[in-house]
Structure 1
Amino acid sequence: MDIGEGARPGLRERKKRETRIALSWAAIRLTVERGFDNVRVEDIAAEAGVSPRTFNNYFASKGEAVAARQLERARAIADELRARPASEPLWEAITNATMARFALGQDDHRGAEDERWAEGLRLMVGEPALQGEFMKTSAAVEAEFAAVIAERTGTDADTDLYPRLVASAVGSAMRVAIQHWLRAEAPGTMADLLRDAFAQLANGLPTP
Protein backbone atom coordinates (compact mmCIF):
# COMPACT_ATOMS: atom_id res chain seq x y z
CA MET A 1 0.00 0.00 0.00
CA ASP A 2 2.76 2.43 0.93
CA ILE A 3 4.63 1.68 -2.29
CA GLY A 4 1.55 2.40 -4.37
CA GLU A 5 0.88 5.64 -2.55
CA GLY A 6 4.48 6.70 -3.03
CA ALA A 7 4.41 5.84 -6.72
CA ARG A 8 1.30 7.83 -7.60
CA PRO A 9 2.76 11.35 -7.19
CA GLY A 10 5.63 10.42 -9.53
CA LEU A 11 3.21 9.17 -12.16
CA ARG A 12 1.02 12.22 -11.73
CA GLU A 13 3.94 14.58 -12.17
CA ARG A 14 5.10 12.68 -15.25
CA LYS A 15 1.65 12.91 -16.82
CA LYS A 16 1.50 16.63 -16.07
CA ARG A 17 4.87 17.14 -17.72
CA GLU A 18 3.77 15.10 -20.76
CA THR A 19 0.64 17.24 -21.08
CA ARG A 20 2.67 20.44 -20.81
CA ILE A 21 5.07 19.26 -23.52
CA ALA A 22 2.19 18.14 -25.77
CA LEU A 23 0.54 21.54 -25.46
CA SER A 24 3.78 23.37 -26.20
CA TRP A 25 4.44 21.22 -29.29
CA ALA A 26 0.87 21.78 -30.47
CA ALA A 27 1.31 25.55 -30.09
CA ILE A 28 4.57 25.44 -32.03
CA ARG A 29 3.20 23.26 -34.84
CA LEU A 30 0.12 25.40 -35.34
CA THR A 31 2.12 28.64 -35.19
CA VAL A 32 4.53 27.32 -37.83
CA GLU A 33 1.67 26.15 -40.06
CA ARG A 34 -0.78 29.06 -39.68
CA GLY A 35 1.07 32.00 -38.20
CA PHE A 36 0.82 33.08 -34.58
CA ASP A 37 -2.14 35.46 -35.08
CA ASN A 38 -4.21 32.69 -36.65
CA VAL A 39 -3.88 30.28 -33.73
CA ARG A 40 -6.33 30.26 -30.83
CA VAL A 41 -6.02 28.64 -27.44
CA GLU A 42 -8.94 26.40 -28.44
CA ASP A 43 -6.98 25.23 -31.49
CA ILE A 44 -3.94 24.35 -29.39
CA ALA A 45 -6.03 22.46 -26.85
CA ALA A 46 -7.80 20.50 -29.59
CA GLU A 47 -4.49 19.66 -31.29
CA ALA A 48 -3.17 18.27 -27.99
CA GLY A 49 -6.41 16.42 -27.24
CA VAL A 50 -7.35 18.37 -24.11
CA SER A 51 -9.84 21.07 -23.17
CA PRO A 52 -9.17 24.84 -23.22
CA ARG A 53 -9.59 24.73 -19.45
CA THR A 54 -6.73 22.25 -19.22
CA PHE A 55 -4.60 24.54 -21.39
CA ASN A 56 -5.27 27.40 -18.97
CA ASN A 57 -4.14 25.22 -16.08
CA TYR A 58 -0.68 25.04 -17.68
CA PHE A 59 -0.19 28.30 -19.52
CA ALA A 60 -1.36 31.89 -19.18
CA SER A 61 -1.18 32.52 -22.94
CA LYS A 62 -0.47 30.85 -26.26
CA GLY A 63 2.85 32.73 -26.40
CA GLU A 64 3.92 31.17 -23.12
CA ALA A 65 3.03 27.75 -24.53
CA VAL A 66 5.18 28.33 -27.62
CA ALA A 67 8.18 29.42 -25.56
CA ALA A 68 7.81 26.62 -23.00
CA ARG A 69 9.62 24.08 -25.18
CA GLN A 70 12.82 26.08 -24.83
CA LEU A 71 12.59 25.94 -21.03
CA GLU A 72 11.77 22.21 -21.03
CA ARG A 73 14.85 21.47 -23.10
CA ALA A 74 17.03 23.62 -20.82
CA ARG A 75 15.80 21.76 -17.74
CA ALA A 76 16.53 18.44 -19.43
CA ILE A 77 20.06 19.61 -20.29
CA ALA A 78 20.57 20.83 -16.71
CA ASP A 79 19.47 17.42 -15.37
CA GLU A 80 21.83 15.73 -17.81
CA LEU A 81 24.67 18.01 -16.74
CA ARG A 82 24.09 17.12 -13.08
CA ALA A 83 24.46 13.46 -14.01
CA ARG A 84 27.79 13.92 -15.83
CA PRO A 85 30.92 12.63 -13.99
CA ALA A 86 32.35 15.21 -11.60
CA SER A 87 35.80 14.60 -13.11
CA GLU A 88 34.67 15.67 -16.58
CA PRO A 89 35.92 19.16 -17.56
CA LEU A 90 33.14 21.73 -17.43
CA TRP A 91 32.86 22.60 -21.13
CA GLU A 92 33.15 18.94 -22.09
CA ALA A 93 30.34 18.12 -19.68
CA ILE A 94 28.20 20.97 -21.01
CA THR A 95 28.75 19.80 -24.58
CA ASN A 96 28.00 16.15 -23.81
CA ALA A 97 24.87 17.02 -21.80
CA THR A 98 23.56 19.23 -24.59
CA MET A 99 24.27 16.63 -27.27
CA ALA A 100 22.44 13.96 -25.26
CA ARG A 101 19.27 16.03 -25.01
CA PHE A 102 19.31 17.25 -28.61
CA ALA A 103 19.83 13.66 -29.77
CA LEU A 104 16.68 12.61 -27.90
CA GLY A 105 14.75 15.48 -29.46
CA GLN A 106 16.32 15.43 -32.90
CA ASP A 107 12.98 16.01 -34.62
CA ASP A 108 13.00 19.50 -33.06
CA HIS A 109 15.08 20.58 -36.04
CA ARG A 110 13.69 18.46 -38.84
CA GLY A 111 13.62 21.59 -41.03
CA ALA A 112 17.05 20.58 -42.32
CA GLU A 113 15.05 18.31 -44.64
CA ASP A 114 11.87 20.40 -44.79
CA GLU A 115 12.28 23.99 -45.99
CA ARG A 116 8.63 24.81 -45.36
CA TRP A 117 9.02 23.86 -41.71
CA ALA A 118 12.26 25.83 -41.44
CA GLU A 119 10.62 28.89 -43.00
CA GLY A 120 7.77 28.63 -40.52
CA LEU A 121 10.26 28.49 -37.66
CA ARG A 122 11.99 31.60 -38.99
CA LEU A 123 8.68 33.45 -38.97
CA MET A 124 7.88 32.20 -35.48
CA VAL A 125 11.25 33.24 -34.04
CA GLY A 126 10.81 36.67 -35.60
CA GLU A 127 7.20 37.11 -34.44
CA PRO A 128 7.05 40.40 -32.44
CA ALA A 129 4.26 39.11 -30.21
CA LEU A 130 6.53 36.29 -29.00
CA GLN A 131 9.66 38.29 -28.24
CA GLY A 132 8.65 39.07 -24.65
CA GLU A 133 7.96 35.40 -23.93
CA PHE A 134 11.27 34.33 -25.47
CA MET A 135 13.11 36.88 -23.31
CA LYS A 136 11.40 35.64 -20.15
CA THR A 137 12.20 32.06 -21.07
CA SER A 138 15.84 32.91 -21.81
CA ALA A 139 16.19 34.39 -18.31
CA ALA A 140 14.71 31.24 -16.77
CA VAL A 141 16.99 29.06 -18.92
CA GLU A 142 20.08 30.92 -17.73
CA ALA A 143 18.96 30.54 -14.11
CA GLU A 144 18.65 26.76 -14.62
CA PHE A 145 22.15 26.57 -16.10
CA ALA A 146 23.67 28.86 -13.45
CA ALA A 147 22.38 26.63 -10.65
CA VAL A 148 23.91 23.43 -12.02
CA ILE A 149 27.17 25.12 -13.05
CA ALA A 150 27.48 26.48 -9.51
CA GLU A 151 27.00 22.97 -8.16
CA ARG A 152 29.74 21.56 -10.41
CA THR A 153 32.24 24.34 -9.69
CA GLY A 154 31.62 24.88 -5.99
CA THR A 155 30.47 28.44 -6.53
CA ASP A 156 27.30 30.32 -5.58
CA ALA A 157 24.82 31.19 -8.33
CA ASP A 158 23.55 34.16 -6.29
CA THR A 159 26.79 35.78 -5.19
CA ASP A 160 29.50 34.62 -7.63
CA LEU A 161 29.92 36.00 -11.13
CA TYR A 162 31.33 32.82 -12.68
CA PRO A 163 28.28 30.49 -12.83
CA ARG A 164 26.00 33.21 -14.16
CA LEU A 165 28.61 34.28 -16.71
CA VAL A 166 29.03 30.72 -17.99
CA ALA A 167 25.26 30.19 -18.00
CA SER A 168 24.77 33.34 -20.03
CA ALA A 169 27.44 32.20 -22.50
CA VAL A 170 25.78 28.78 -22.84
CA GLY A 171 22.34 30.31 -23.39
CA SER A 172 23.71 32.77 -25.93
CA ALA A 173 25.59 30.02 -27.78
CA MET A 174 22.40 27.99 -28.10
CA ARG A 175 20.38 30.95 -29.35
CA VAL A 176 23.03 31.93 -31.88
CA ALA A 177 23.38 28.34 -33.11
CA ILE A 178 19.63 28.03 -33.63
CA GLN A 179 19.43 31.39 -35.39
CA HIS A 180 22.37 30.45 -37.62
CA TRP A 181 20.79 27.09 -38.42
CA LEU A 182 17.56 28.82 -39.45
CA ARG A 183 19.17 31.54 -41.56
CA ALA A 184 22.23 30.01 -43.22
CA GLU A 185 21.89 28.38 -46.63
CA ALA A 186 23.96 25.31 -45.71
CA PRO A 187 24.37 25.44 -41.92
CA GLY A 188 25.07 21.76 -41.24
CA THR A 189 23.44 19.96 -38.34
CA MET A 190 22.38 21.56 -35.08
CA ALA A 191 24.71 19.22 -33.20
CA ASP A 192 27.69 20.37 -35.27
CA LEU A 193 26.83 24.03 -34.71
CA LEU A 194 26.48 23.56 -30.95
CA ARG A 195 29.75 21.64 -30.68
CA ASP A 196 31.50 24.39 -32.63
CA ALA A 197 29.95 27.13 -30.49
CA PHE A 198 30.90 25.47 -27.20
CA ALA A 199 34.41 24.66 -28.44
CA GLN A 200 34.98 28.31 -29.35
CA LEU A 201 33.77 29.40 -25.91
CA ALA A 202 35.95 26.81 -24.19
CA ASN A 203 38.94 28.12 -26.13
CA GLY A 204 38.24 31.72 -25.14
CA LEU A 205 36.72 32.78 -28.47
CA PRO A 206 40.01 33.01 -30.37
CA THR A 207 40.14 35.40 -33.32
CA PRO A 208 39.25 33.46 -36.52
Structure 2
Amino acid sequence: MTAALRLVDERGLEHVTVEDISEAADVSPRTFFNYFAGKDDALLGGPVPDGPSIHERLLAVPAEVPLVHALFEAITPDVAGIQAERDIWLLRLRVIKNNSSLLPALVARGECSEEETVAAVAARTGKAADDMFPQLVATTAGAALRTAMMRWATHDDRDLLELVREAFDILAAGLTEPTEEKAPR
Protein backbone atom coordinates (compact mmCIF):
# COMPACT_ATOMS: atom_id res chain seq x y z
CA MET A 1 0.00 0.00 0.00
CA THR A 2 1.67 3.16 -1.24
CA ALA A 3 0.08 5.41 1.39
CA ALA A 4 1.61 3.33 4.19
CA LEU A 5 5.04 3.35 2.56
CA ARG A 6 5.01 7.10 2.02
CA LEU A 7 3.92 7.86 5.57
CA VAL A 8 6.52 5.57 7.12
CA ASP A 9 9.20 6.94 4.81
CA GLU A 10 8.35 10.49 5.93
CA ARG A 11 7.68 9.93 9.64
CA GLY A 12 9.27 6.62 10.63
CA LEU A 13 7.48 3.39 11.48
CA GLU A 14 6.86 4.21 15.14
CA HIS A 15 5.10 7.49 14.22
CA VAL A 16 2.49 5.98 11.87
CA THR A 17 -0.69 4.22 12.94
CA VAL A 18 -3.20 2.12 11.03
CA GLU A 19 -5.59 5.04 11.43
CA ASP A 20 -3.05 7.36 9.75
CA ILE A 21 -2.65 4.92 6.88
CA SER A 22 -6.40 4.45 6.53
CA GLU A 23 -6.95 8.20 6.42
CA ALA A 24 -4.20 8.71 3.82
CA ALA A 25 -5.64 5.90 1.68
CA ASP A 26 -9.20 7.19 2.15
CA VAL A 27 -10.48 3.91 3.62
CA SER A 28 -11.78 2.98 7.03
CA PRO A 29 -9.57 1.03 9.45
CA ARG A 30 -12.05 -1.82 9.08
CA THR A 31 -11.49 -1.85 5.30
CA PHE A 32 -7.73 -1.71 5.90
CA PHE A 33 -7.96 -4.89 7.99
CA ASN A 34 -9.97 -6.61 5.24
CA TYR A 35 -6.79 -6.47 3.13
CA PHE A 36 -3.92 -6.45 5.62
CA ALA A 37 -3.21 -8.18 8.91
CA GLY A 38 -1.51 -5.04 10.18
CA LYS A 39 0.81 -2.17 9.38
CA ASP A 40 3.81 -4.41 8.62
CA ASP A 41 1.76 -6.44 6.15
CA ALA A 42 0.77 -3.27 4.28
CA LEU A 43 4.38 -2.14 4.11
CA LEU A 44 5.79 -5.46 2.94
CA GLY A 45 3.31 -6.00 0.16
CA GLY A 46 0.12 -7.55 1.40
CA PRO A 47 -1.42 -10.72 -0.01
CA VAL A 48 0.33 -12.83 -2.63
CA PRO A 49 -0.99 -12.06 -6.14
CA ASP A 50 -3.17 -14.51 -8.02
CA GLY A 51 -1.66 -16.61 -10.75
CA PRO A 52 0.52 -19.66 -11.10
CA SER A 53 2.80 -20.42 -8.17
CA ILE A 54 6.57 -20.80 -8.49
CA HIS A 55 5.93 -24.54 -8.20
CA GLU A 56 3.58 -24.57 -11.19
CA ARG A 57 5.79 -22.27 -13.24
CA LEU A 58 8.95 -24.29 -12.56
CA LEU A 59 7.28 -27.56 -13.50
CA ALA A 60 5.99 -25.93 -16.72
CA VAL A 61 9.54 -25.21 -17.92
CA PRO A 62 10.70 -28.02 -20.25
CA ALA A 63 12.82 -30.65 -18.49
CA GLU A 64 15.75 -30.12 -20.88
CA VAL A 65 16.24 -26.56 -19.58
CA PRO A 66 18.97 -26.65 -16.91
CA LEU A 67 17.63 -26.14 -13.38
CA VAL A 68 19.09 -22.68 -12.66
CA HIS A 69 17.86 -21.35 -16.02
CA ALA A 70 14.47 -22.96 -15.39
CA LEU A 71 14.28 -21.21 -12.02
CA PHE A 72 15.10 -17.91 -13.72
CA GLU A 73 12.28 -18.50 -16.21
CA ALA A 74 9.92 -19.38 -13.37
CA ILE A 75 10.61 -16.17 -11.42
CA THR A 76 10.69 -13.88 -14.47
CA PRO A 77 7.00 -12.86 -14.13
CA ASP A 78 7.62 -11.84 -10.49
CA VAL A 79 10.74 -9.88 -11.42
CA ALA A 80 8.89 -8.17 -14.29
CA GLY A 81 6.12 -7.19 -11.86
CA ILE A 82 8.63 -5.69 -9.45
CA GLN A 83 10.33 -3.81 -12.29
CA ALA A 84 6.96 -2.47 -13.47
CA GLU A 85 6.38 -1.04 -9.99
CA ARG A 86 9.93 0.27 -9.62
CA ASP A 87 9.08 3.43 -7.65
CA ILE A 88 6.95 1.54 -5.12
CA TRP A 89 9.58 -1.18 -4.71
CA LEU A 90 12.41 1.31 -4.28
CA LEU A 91 10.33 3.07 -1.64
CA ARG A 92 9.54 -0.28 0.03
CA LEU A 93 13.21 -1.28 0.09
CA ARG A 94 14.18 2.10 1.58
CA VAL A 95 11.48 1.78 4.27
CA ILE A 96 12.70 -1.73 5.13
CA LYS A 97 16.32 -0.58 5.26
CA ASN A 98 15.42 2.32 7.58
CA ASN A 99 13.09 0.31 9.85
CA SER A 100 14.86 -2.83 11.02
CA SER A 101 11.85 -3.89 13.09
CA LEU A 102 10.28 -5.00 9.78
CA LEU A 103 13.02 -7.60 9.25
CA PRO A 104 11.40 -10.46 11.22
CA ALA A 105 8.24 -10.25 9.10
CA LEU A 106 10.34 -9.99 5.94
CA VAL A 107 12.39 -13.04 6.96
CA ALA A 108 9.20 -15.01 7.66
CA ARG A 109 7.86 -14.16 4.19
CA GLY A 110 11.16 -15.13 2.63
CA GLU A 111 11.10 -18.44 4.47
CA CYS A 112 7.63 -19.24 3.10
CA SER A 113 8.78 -18.41 -0.41
CA GLU A 114 11.91 -20.49 0.04
CA GLU A 115 9.88 -23.48 1.23
CA GLU A 116 7.73 -23.22 -1.90
CA THR A 117 10.88 -23.11 -4.04
CA VAL A 118 12.32 -26.13 -2.20
CA ALA A 119 9.13 -28.09 -2.96
CA ALA A 120 9.24 -27.01 -6.62
CA VAL A 121 12.92 -27.99 -7.02
CA ALA A 122 12.27 -31.30 -5.28
CA ALA A 123 9.35 -32.04 -7.61
CA ARG A 124 11.38 -31.12 -10.70
CA THR A 125 14.46 -33.12 -9.70
CA GLY A 126 12.79 -36.10 -8.02
CA LYS A 127 14.68 -35.40 -4.79
CA ALA A 128 13.00 -35.35 -1.41
CA ALA A 129 12.20 -31.87 -0.09
CA ASP A 130 14.36 -32.58 2.96
CA ASP A 131 17.34 -33.46 0.77
CA MET A 132 20.15 -30.89 0.86
CA PHE A 133 20.10 -30.29 -2.90
CA PRO A 134 16.64 -28.66 -3.23
CA GLN A 135 17.25 -26.70 -0.03
CA LEU A 136 20.60 -25.40 -1.23
CA VAL A 137 19.24 -24.52 -4.69
CA ALA A 138 16.32 -22.59 -3.16
CA THR A 139 18.57 -20.76 -0.71
CA THR A 140 21.13 -19.75 -3.32
CA ALA A 141 18.43 -18.71 -5.80
CA GLY A 142 16.86 -16.53 -3.11
CA ALA A 143 20.25 -15.00 -2.30
CA ALA A 144 20.87 -14.30 -5.99
CA LEU A 145 17.49 -12.56 -6.29
CA ARG A 146 18.06 -10.50 -3.11
CA THR A 147 21.55 -9.49 -4.25
CA ALA A 148 20.24 -8.35 -7.63
CA MET A 149 17.41 -6.40 -5.97
CA MET A 150 19.75 -4.63 -3.57
CA ARG A 151 22.09 -3.64 -6.42
CA TRP A 152 19.07 -2.38 -8.37
CA ALA A 153 17.80 -0.44 -5.36
CA THR A 154 21.06 1.18 -4.34
CA HIS A 155 23.47 1.84 -7.14
CA ASP A 156 22.85 0.02 -10.38
CA ASP A 157 20.89 1.72 -13.15
CA ARG A 158 20.34 -1.49 -15.07
CA ASP A 159 17.00 -3.20 -15.47
CA LEU A 160 16.17 -5.56 -12.61
CA LEU A 161 15.60 -8.48 -14.95
CA GLU A 162 19.10 -7.96 -16.39
CA LEU A 163 20.62 -7.98 -12.91
CA VAL A 164 18.70 -11.12 -11.89
CA ARG A 165 19.75 -12.83 -15.14
CA GLU A 166 23.39 -11.97 -14.39
CA ALA A 167 23.10 -13.35 -10.85
CA PHE A 168 21.51 -16.58 -12.07
CA ASP A 169 24.14 -16.92 -14.81
CA ILE A 170 26.81 -16.74 -12.10
CA LEU A 171 24.99 -19.50 -10.20
CA ALA A 172 24.64 -21.58 -13.37
CA ALA A 173 28.38 -21.29 -13.97
CA GLY A 174 28.90 -22.95 -10.60
CA LEU A 175 30.17 -19.87 -8.78
CA THR A 176 33.51 -20.26 -10.50
CA GLU A 177 36.01 -17.51 -9.90
CA PRO A 178 36.13 -14.99 -12.77
CA THR A 179 39.34 -15.32 -14.80
CA GLU A 180 39.62 -11.86 -16.38
CA GLU A 181 39.76 -9.88 -13.12
CA LYS A 182 41.24 -11.94 -10.34
CA ALA A 183 41.26 -10.13 -7.06
CA PRO A 184 44.53 -10.19 -5.12
CA ARG A 185 44.63 -12.51 -2.12
TM-score, scaled to structure 2? 0.77
- Aligned to 2:115, the other structure's residue is in SS state helix
Offset at residue 96 of structure 1 (A): 1.4
Offset at residue 56 of structure 1 (A): 3.1
Contact 2:114 2:142 in 1 (8 A): yes
Offset at residue 71 of structure 1 (A): 5.9
Offset at residue 146 of structure 1 (A): 0.6
Offset at residue 119 of structure 1 (A): 6.3
1:1-20 equivalence runs, <5 A:
none
Match of 1:193 in 2: 163
Q: In structure 2, what is the Cα distance between the partners aligned to 1:161 and 1:29?
A: 41
Higher relative contact order (CA 8 A, sep 6+): 2
Q: In structure 1, what is the Cα distance between the partners aligned to 2:82 and 2:123?
A: 26
Q: In structure 1, what is the Cα distance between the partners aligned to 2:165 and 2:66?
A: 15
Match of 1:21 in 2: none
Q: Give structure 2 stretches of 5+ with no counterpart.
A: 179-185
Match of 1:177 among 135, 138, 148: 148
Q: In structure 1, what is the Cα distance between the partners aligned to 2:102 and 2:19?
A: 18
Match of 2:128 in 1: 156
Give the structure with the larger helix fraction.
1
Match of 2:70 in 1: 93
Offset at residue 207 of structure 1 (A): 1.1
Q: In structure 1, what is the Cα distance between the partners aligned to 2:22 and 2:57?
A: 30
The 1:71/1:170 distance shift into structure 2, 3 A limit, reads farther
Contact 2:35 2:46 in 1 (8 A): no
- Seq. identity, %: 38
What does the per-residue CA deviation read over 1:85-141, in whole Å, with 9 as the maximum and x for residues that have no partner?
Answer: 233221111111222332244323247xxxxx8467324333112111111111111
Match of 1:129 among 101, 104, 115: 101
Match of 2:181 in 1: none
Q: In structure 2, what is the Cα distance between the partners aligned to 1:80 and 1:25?
A: 28
Q: Which amino acid aligns with 1:196?
A: E
| Alignment partner of 1:65 is 2:48 | no
Q: Which amino acid aligns with 2:115?
A: A
The 1:71/1:206 distance shift into structure 2, 3 A limit, reads farther
Offset at residue 30 of structure 1 (A): 4.3
| Alignment partner of 1:146 is 2:118 | yes
Contact 1:81 1:94 in 2 (8 A): yes
Q: In structure 2, what is the Cα distance between the partners aligned to 1:29 and 1:82?
A: 38
Q: In structure 2, what is the Cα distance between the partners aligned to 1:205 and 1:71?
A: 31
Contact 1:67 1:137 in 2 (8 A): no
Q: Give structure 1 stretches of 5+ with no counterpart.
A: 1-23, 112-116
Q: Which amino acid aligns with 2:120?
A: V
The 1:52/1:121 distance shift into structure 2, 3 A limit, reads same
- Aligned to 2:63, the other structure's residue is in SS state coil
Match of 2:183 in 1: none
Q: Which amino acid aligns with 2:175?
A: L
Match of 1:18 in 2: none
TM-score, scaled to structure 1? 0.70
